[in-house]
Amino acid sequence: MLDMYTNISSIPLGYNHPSLIEAAKSDIWVQAAINRPALGIKPPSVWPELLQNSFMQVAPPGLNQVFTAMCGSCSNECAYKAVFMRHQQVKRGVSTPFSQEEMETCMCNEEPGSPKLSILSFKKGFHGRLFGSLTTTRSKAIHKLDIPAFDWPAAPFPQLKYPLDKFESENRKEEDRCLAETERLIKEWHVPVAGVIVEPIQAEGGDNHATPYFFQKLRDITKKLGVSLIVDEVQTGGGATGKMWAHEYWNLTTPPDIVTFSKKMQAAGYYHNMEFRPSESYRNFNTWMGDPMRAMELEVVVNQIKKDNLLETVQITGKYLRDSLHDLSSRFPDHIKNVRGLGTFCAFDCKDAANRDKLVAELRLLGVEAGGCGQETIRIRPMLVCRPRHIKQFLDRLETSVQKIA
């Protein structure tokens, strides 16, 4: 199989990479596999060094702290908690201790100890399947059915026309409309908004893009209104867009407050600065707090990305992929349209949902694993080591599949 989906965008170096196999044979990997620590209270002696050699080697610009977690969903859940704690700390006063009333009422899920606060997300966004993250997920009903949710707001995410450079005027109006509604919701929502979460590219919701202008203005709004900005890079982080972090394309004047990650990073968690670290122990906490073995895996991945210039490879391969998809789109406009992407993090729309599902099935019969998202979209998520020669195989089989269902 030619894997262009990579376990939902999660395999960075391909299968059975020699450097990972060699590292896995080491005593330190064996010890990590059989002696898993509760990192919050009993980290191994190598943990500080490992943090520096893995997570902090690729920390987003402007963020110098990392919180390690178990998966993308709990990365976002813990990020929400950090935002709420920070919001209340500022409101209470940084050096003011908790009141007796706060400590008593939180045990009854009542104010002021359990404040009424919310996280604003965007329609068609996906942020996980746990309770807080599921409330902010807006992409598929099947994830949310029968599950109670918080009373949190959802703003419209820009529905842009592609290619972006041919519809700048129309897209700017759409982004301004969404920004205005976002600001209105933050100001007027009946449950005070403490934070905003956004994906650089709405992956599960259909690979929906917005321009750097949208995110720059969104950051301005959050700064002006005193709410935290969480950038969910669970799927876009780790190099697939041609940069380690997709939000690096935005050229923000100030960094996001929190950047969450998982998938291609192999480990999970979020980056932040000191003001989002709780002042008391055990507040943002679980037994494992991540996994040293996955941090070791990330260390190998990061070193390999640098050694083999894989971000440059992604940019070169991504351009070839997009150019070729545009060519196919000109020949099969009913079946391949709205080609878009950054790096090899690419997608195109099909004629409709049924047509998309048929195309995914036909590709699989020809030995290509691809994945759908949104209503009619096929997303392409190759590994970082993917080269133009692999893309050529994919495109040949894609053309054959389109011809068969056309």
Euclidean distance between CA atoms 215 and 247, whole angstroms? 9
pTM for this model (two decimals): 0.97
Residue 197 — pLDDT band, cuts 50, 70, 90? very high
Class level of CATH domain 36-306: alpha beta
Mean pLDDT of 113-140: 97
State yes or no: pLDDT of 382 exceeds 90: yes
Q: Which of 207, 214, 222, 232 is catalytic?
A: 232
The region of weakest confidence among 1-5, 279-283, 297-301, 349-353 is 279-283
* Span 8-28, pLDDT tens digits: 999 999 999 999 999 999 999
Mean pLDDT of 144-168: 97
Mean pLDDT of 368-385: 97
Average model confidence (pLDDT) across the chain: 97
* Domain 2-15+309-405 CATH assignment equals 3.30.43.10: no
To the query of whether residue 211 is one of the catalytic residues in this protein, the response is: no
Residue % of the chain over a pLDDT of 70: 100
SS3 per residue for the chain? CEECCHHHHCCCCCCCCHHHHHHHCCHHHHHHHHCCCCCCCCCCCCHHHHHHHCHHHHCCCCCCEEEEECCHHHHHHHHHHHHHHHHHHHHHCCCCCCCHHHHHHHCCCCCCCCCCCEEEEECCCCCCCCHHHHHHCCCCHHHHCCCCCCCCCEECCCCCCCCHHHCHHHHHHHHHHHHHHHHHHHHHCCCCEEEEEECCCECCCCCECCCHHHHHHHHHHHHHHCCEEEEECCCCCCCCCCCCCHHHHHCCCCCCCEEEECHHHCCEEEEECHHHCCCCCCCCCCCCCCCHHHHHHHHHHHHHHHHCCHHHHHHHHHHHHHHHHHHHHHHCCCCCEEEEEECCEEEEECCCHHHHHHHHHHHHHCCEECEEECCCEEEECCCCCCCHHHHHHHHHHHHHHHHHHC
For position 404, what pLDDT does the model report?
Answer: 95
State yes or no: pLDDT of 146 exceeds 90: yes
Mean pLDDT of 50-64: 98
Q: Which of 55, 84, 122, 126 is catalytic?
A: 126
Euclidean distance between CA atoms 217 and 400, whole angstroms? 43
For position 279, what pLDDT does the model report?
Answer: 84
Residue 194 — pLDDT band, cuts 50, 70, 90? very high
* Span 61-105, pLDDT tens digits: 999 999 999 999 999 999 999 999 999 999 999 889 999 999 999
Both tokens of 227, joined, read 């709410």
For position 230, what pLDDT does the model report?
Answer: 99
Mean pLDDT of 121-147: 97
Euclidean distance between CA atoms 191 and 189, whole angstroms? 5
Q: Where in the chain is the domain with CATH 3.90.1150.10?
A: 2-15+309-405
Euclidean distance between CA atoms 52 and 70, whole angstroms? 19
Euclidean distance between CA atoms 377 and 85, whole angstroms? 38
279/403: higher pLDDT: 403
Q: Length of the chain, please?
A: 406
Both tokens of 354, joined, read 């049924």
For position 94, what pLDDT does the model report?
Answer: 85
For position 117, what pLDDT does the model report?
Answer: 98
* Span 278-335, pLDDT tens digits: 989 999 999 999 999 999 999 999 999 999 999 999 999 999 999 999 999 999 999 9
Mean pLDDT of 212-232: 98
Mean pLDDT of 146-174: 97
To the query of whether residue 126 is one of the catalytic residues in this protein, the response is: yes
Q: Which of 124, 217, 263, 358 is catalytic?
A: 263
For position 406, what pLDDT does the model report?
Answer: 86
Mean pLDDT of 206-215: 98
For position 51, what pLDDT does the model report?
Answer: 97
Which residue, 237, 234, 264, is CA-closest to 248? 237
Q: Where in the chain is the domain with CATH 3.40.640.10?
A: 36-306
To the query of whether residue 232 is one of the catalytic residues in this protein, the response is: yes
For position 100, what pLDDT does the model report?
Answer: 97
Q: Which of 98, 187, 254, 287 is catalytic?
A: 287
Residue 125 — pLDDT band, cuts 50, 70, 90? very high
